[in-house]
C-alpha cells in the first residue's frame, strides 16, 4: 500500500493513442522546447517533494462547508501533465475532490469565449482585493464592486454573464466546458453541492450586494446556485492537471488536441490567476513561486508553466487564506528546483 503510493507512473493517456497521435518522446520534447526539464529530473524532484512534505501536519480542512470537514486530511496526490501529454502521477491521484474555486478560472474562460475580453474586463474587473475570497467589505470598497473573477463576488458575477435560456442550460454548458478542458466527462459531487447549498447564505448576501450596485447580470440567487454547482464539480489530481495543461498549451487540451480555449484568451486567464489565484496570499505566491495558479478550498491547487505543462496537487488541510498547505509547499519546491519561476531569467534558459 505504502509502496504503491510511492510509485511514480509515467503514462501516455489512452485518449492520445485512441486519437492516433504518436507518443512524443522525451527527446522530441527537448527539441521542441530547449528549456523543458528532463523527465527523470522531474520525476525525482516530484518524489523528493512528496517525501519531504507528506508528514506536514499544518493546516485544517475547510469546515464552513460541512462536507469538506469530513474529507480524509491525509489524502495527498500530485499530478503533472505536460504540453505534449506526458503524465506523471504520485499518491492519491484517483480521489475525486470538489474543484471549488479553481472552477472560477474555467467559467471566466467561457465568459471570455461568449463576450470577449473587453466586455468581461469592464463588467467584472481584475484588481486584486487584498481581502479574503468571500469578503463583503471588498464588494463595498472596490470601485468595480465585483473585484475580479476569482473572488466569490466576481466569480458569481462572471457566472451570471454565461448565456442560456434557463438555469439548466447554463449549468450544462459550464459542465461541458470544464469536461472539454479536462478531456473527460466530469460530474457533480451531489453531496458537496447539497452541503454547500445548505450553508451558502454568505454567497447569497454577496449576490444581493452586487445587485445593489448593478454588478450582476442575471438573477442573483440563480447565479449563486449555478456557481455552487460549478464549485461542486468533482476532479481528481490528474484531471485537474490536464485542465491546467490545456492552459499551458495555448488552450489546446494536450490529450484530445481540441482547442478548448482561444489562444488569445490564455494570457488574460494567466494574468488573472497571477493577481488573485491564491486570494490574499497571491503576493506571497508571486514572490516565492512566480507561476500563475489557482487554489480551491477542496484542497486542490493547479499551477501553470506556460508552454510546458501544469502541476496539480491535492491535500485538504488549508492555511488561513484557504490555500492547501501541502500543495503550496510541493509546487513551491518543484518550481524552484526546476527553475519554473516566470520572473526568473532561468525559466527561459538564461543562466
Binding site for ligand GLN (CB under 6 A): 100-101, 133-134, 152, 196, 203, 231, 296-297, 322
The C-alpha atoms of residue 278 and residue 300 are separated, in whole angstroms, by 11
**Exposed (0-12), middle (13-18) or buried (19+): which is 180, by Cβ within 10 Å?**
buried
Residue nearest to ligand GLN (CB): 101
CB of 66 to ligand GLN, least distance (A): 13
CB of 269 to ligand GLN, least distance (A): 17
CB of 96 to ligand GLN, least distance (A): 16
The C-alpha atoms of residue 186 and residue 25 are separated, in whole angstroms, by 29
For residues 196 and 280, which CB has a smaller minimum distance to ligand GLN in the complex?
Answer: 196
| Residue among 6, 105, 7 nearest 310 (CA) | 105
Q: Which helix (H) or strand (E) holds 90?
A: strand 86-91
For residues 87 and 231, which CB has a smaller minimum distance to ligand GLN in the complex?
Answer: 231
For residues 95 and 133, which CB has a smaller minimum distance to ligand GLN in the complex?
Answer: 133
CB of 321 to ligand GLN, least distance (A): 9
CB of 174 to ligand GLN, least distance (A): 14
Angle formed at CA 77 by CA 32 and CA 109, multiple of 5 degrees: 60
Cβ neighbours of residue 59 under 8 Å, at least 6 residues apart?
Answer: 317, 318, 319, 324, 325, 326
Residue 291 CA, chain-centre distance (Å), reads 12
For residues 117 and 202, which CB has a smaller minimum distance to ligand GLN in the complex?
Answer: 202
CB of 150 to ligand GLN, least distance (A): 9
**Exposed (0-12), middle (13-18) or buried (19+): which is 167, by Cβ within 10 Å?**
middle
Amino acid at each position: 500500500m505504502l509502496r504503491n503510493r510511492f510509485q511514480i507512473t509515467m503514462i501516455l493517456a489512452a485518449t492520445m493513442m485512441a486519437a492516433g497521435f504518436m507518443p512524443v518522446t522525451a527527446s522530441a520534447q527537448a527539441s521542441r522546447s530547449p528549456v523543458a526539464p528532463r523527465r527523470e529530473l522531474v520525476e525525482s524532484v516530484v518524489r523528493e517533494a512528496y517525501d519531504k512534505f507528506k508528514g506536514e501536519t499544518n493546516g485544517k480542512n475547510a469546515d464552513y462547508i460541512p462536507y469538506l470537514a469530513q474529507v480524509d486530511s491525509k489524502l495527498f496526490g500530485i499530478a503533472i501533465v505536460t504540453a505534449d501529454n506526458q503524465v506523471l502521477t504520485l499518491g492519491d491521484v484517483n480521489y475525486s475532490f470538489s474543484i471549488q474555486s479553481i472552477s472560477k478560472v474555467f467559467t471566466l474562460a467561457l465568459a471570455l469565449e461568449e463576450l470577449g475580453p473587453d466586455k468581461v474586463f469592464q463588467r467584472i474587473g481584475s484588481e486584486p482585493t487584498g481581502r479574503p475570497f468571500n469578503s463583503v467589505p471588498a464588494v463595498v470598497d472596490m470601485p468595480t464592486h465585483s473585484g475580479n473573477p476569482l473572488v466569490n463576488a466576481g466569480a458569481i458575477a462572471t457566472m451570471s454573464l454565461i448565456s442560456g435560456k434557463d438555469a439548466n442550460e447554463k449549468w450544462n454548458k459550464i459542465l461541458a466546458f470544464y469536461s472539454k478542458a479536462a478531456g473527460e466527462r466530469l460530474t457533480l459531487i451531489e453531496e458537496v453541492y447539497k452541503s454547500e447549498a445548505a450553508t451558502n447564505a454568505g454567497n447569497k448576501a454577496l449576490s444581493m450586494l452586487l445587485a445593489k450596485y448593478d454588478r450582476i447580470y442575471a438573477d442573483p440567487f440563480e447565479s449563486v446556485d449555478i456557481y455552487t454547482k460549478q464549485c461542486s464539480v468533482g476532479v481528481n489530481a490528474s484531471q485537474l492537471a490536464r485542465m491546467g495543461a490545456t492552459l499551458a498549451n495555448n488552450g489546446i487540451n494536450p490529450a484530445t488536441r481540441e482547442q478548448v480555449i482561444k489562444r488569445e484568451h490564455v494570457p488574460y486567464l494567466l494574468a488573472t490567476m497571477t493577481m488573485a489565484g491564491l486570494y490574499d496570499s497571491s503576493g506571497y505566491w508571486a514572490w516565492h513561486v512566480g507561476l500563475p495558479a489557482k487554489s480551491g478550498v477542496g484542497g486542490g491547487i493547479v499551477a501553470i508553466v506556460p508552454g510546458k505543462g501544469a502541476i496539480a496537487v491535492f491535500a485538504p488541510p488549508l492555511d488561513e487564506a484557504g490555500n492547501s498547505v501541502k500543495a503550496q509547499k510541493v509546487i513551491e519546491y518543484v518550481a524552484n528546483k526546476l527553475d519554473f519561476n516566470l520572473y526568473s531569467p532561468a525559466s527561459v534558459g538564461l543562466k
